[in-house]
Structure 1
Amino acid sequence: AEPSPAAGPTVLFVGRHEERKGLRVLLQASERLPADVRIWVGGDGDETLSLKRDFAGNDRIEWLGRISGEEKRARLAGASVFCAPSLGGESFGIVLLEAMSAGIPIVASDITGYSLVARAGSDALLTEPGNPDALAGALSAVLAGGHGVHDRVERGRQRANEFSMETLADVYTEMYERVLATG
């Protein structure tokens, strides 16, 4: 079924289920969120079975498995907030740019790879990696509409546009033209 924004507050995670992606931290944080909050978990990986076993009693989690690009876009459109709780090892936050382009609020870990894309307090809420309490607090604030969510979403869209292929092509073209003009 296609996700519906009317289904209630929903947190979306999409990624490999491996320790460095921080999914366990999100699932721990989910137990501290209001009872009506749903967690959509896209992807799979080495930790999928142990996570499903460890959080079997948490009926707010919907395990989506691997999802297509089309379903990811639909889930981004239907979710209330996108969460990227990685513990480290991210070279660049492409997934954050996708969420920014979709116009969804973002809560992510304050790690180097993500801070290259998302500016803390400006277009994303960045939290201490590996801290379920901090993550739950940030998610709760965003779901409650706090921390200037609407302004942050708009700045996120603008930030994503800065990384669009068209914009980057214009930047490179301008740079090449300057180099050619100066010989």
Structure 2
Amino acid sequence: MSYVENDGTNQRPDPLHGRKLNVGIISPYSFETPGGVQFHIRDFAEELMKRGHKVEVLAPGRRTRDMPLWVTTNDSSFSIPYNGSVARLSYFGFVGPRARRWVKQGHFDIVHLHEPECPSLSHKPLTMIHHPPFVGTFHAAFDPYPLVLRFFQGYLRQYLSPLSAGICVSEAAKQVVDHYGPRDIEYDVIPNGINCKFFATAQPKAAWLGTPERPTIGFLGRMGEARKGFSVFARAANDIIKRYPSARFLCAGTGEQDALKILGKVDPSGMLSKRFEFLGRISDKDKARFYKSLDVYVAPQTGGESFGIVLVEAMAASCAVVSSDLDAFAAVAQDGDDAALFANGDGHDCARQIISLLDNPERREHLRQAGFERSKRYDWPVVADRVLEVYARVLS
């Protein structure tokens, strides 16, 4: 399936009428460790710079060798459990004055705060008396709604009142923000973006390709985090090898030792673990090749997901996707039209959907094509246009 360049016929009119902006973006999470919000900020910044805008990013933590020069760090961060994961935030001591000074000295036309409700850097500028317009993007989704947020609702609504506009990456994220966000601003639901061409034009890796008798089924994520659903994937694999004894399960991401413990509980004989191959943390280039090489990509996450970026990436690589029926995933999959959905947490149902696709190449091809078309609405040029419309509305 080939990638077709946007010929400009479906582009939105430039909401800024040619004006070039100086944009400051603040990340709540350190760039030292990879994560969805950090990737979102990085890729959006690069898209703006392609268009001639100036962008600077402030993030917690320390600089690493591969960090872009336009990212400034404050040399301070701490780890804390957050939404089923571990986040590296920055909040105490000199962090607030340094963040506010960065905003003041940047002379920005607009400052974009990610997760401003989170106790970290993007929370700090909201106390400034004189400041450029603030736009906040809200990424988090919770089910159930956390007690701590319920307790701080009134405080957050007042603290976030300097925001001029809000962006939620999904309807699931907006349902959370509706509890504590300021009620006098407009919220736009604008999804995360991806570079569709990057995934669409990737070449599969011969060593990872499967065959009809030996299909390759993939998982990508932190295997040690329960919410990423590796245990669901393992239970599904135990059913799949009864139908496809030579199936390969290719796993990218951290937590191999955790994964082996889970596999040992699912199958104490150790036979199941022999069907698994662990790639560790892979580069962006290899991630695209990973999706491109699979017969089926599986997203078994059980909660805490506000979007479905892994689904969209796999779709852009023309890979058939099977995912849990989380609200955020179902929205990307259009309730099963563009990806096969299974009951959240149900490994047997997950296996049933995967086997159905492996048994039916025509249905698998239909999902590949449908998913590929669906991914185009998340291409960065499309998503960035929508964010710039919010900027234009705020600046006007």
Q: CA deviation at 1:9?
A: 0.5
1:136 to 334, 340, 351: 351
Match of 1:119 among 334, 339, 347: 334
Greater RCO (Cα-Cα under 8 Å, separation 6 or more): 1
> Which string of whole-angstrom CA distances, capped at 9 and with x for unpartnered residues, describes residues 3-40 of structure 1?
34245301100001111111111111111112121101
Matches of 2:221 and 2:210, distance apart in 1: 24
Query: Contact 1:101–1:157 (CA<8 Å) still a contact in 2?
Result: yes
- Matching of residue 48 in structure 1 with residue 259 in structure 2: yes
Q: Percent identity?
A: 32
Alpha-carbon distance, 1:173 to partner = 5.8
Greater helix proportion = 1
Q: Give the equivalent residue in structure 2 for 1:30.
A: 237
Name stretches of at least 5 consecutive residues in structure 1 with no aligned partner: none
Q: Which stretch shows the higher mean deviation, 6-15 or 47-56? A: 47-56
| Counterparts in 2 of 1:19 and 1:147: CA distance versus 1, 3 Å | farther
Cα distance in 2 between the residues matched to 1:6 and 1:135: 20
Any idea what the Cα deviations from partners look like across 1:81-101, whole Å, max 9, x if unmatched?
Answer: 000011111111001110000
Asked if the contact 1:3–1:74 (Cα under 8 Å) also holds between the matched residues in 2, the reply is no
Aligned length: 180
Counterpart in 1 of 2:294? 79
Cα distance in structure 2, aligned partners of 1:49 and 1:81: 21
Contact map agreement 1:26 1:132 (CA 8 A) in 2: yes
Distance in 1 between residues matched to 2:307 and 2:264, nearest whole Å? 31
Give 1:19's aligned residue: 226
Moved more, 102-111 or 54-63: 54-63
Partner of 1:10: 216
Match of 1:106 among 311, 318, 321: 321
Aligned counterparts of 1:147 and 1:21: Cα–Cα separation in 2: 29
Return closer, same or farther for 1:88/1:163 CA change in 2, 3 Å cut-off: same
Instruction: Give the conservation status (yes or no) of the 8 Å contact 2:297–2:319.
Output: yes
1:86-117 C-alpha deviation (Å, 9 max, x unpaired): 11111110011100000000000000221231
Q: Tell me the TM-score normalized by structure 1.
A: 0.86
The Cα RMSD (Å) is 2.4
Q: What amino acid sits opposite 2:237 in the alignment?
A: S
Question: Unmatched 5+ residue regions in structure 2?
Answer: 1-204
* Farther off after superposition, 144-153 or 155-164: 144-153
Deviates more, 1:43-52 or 1:102-111: 43-52
CA 1:38–1:151: 2 relative to 1, 3 Å: same
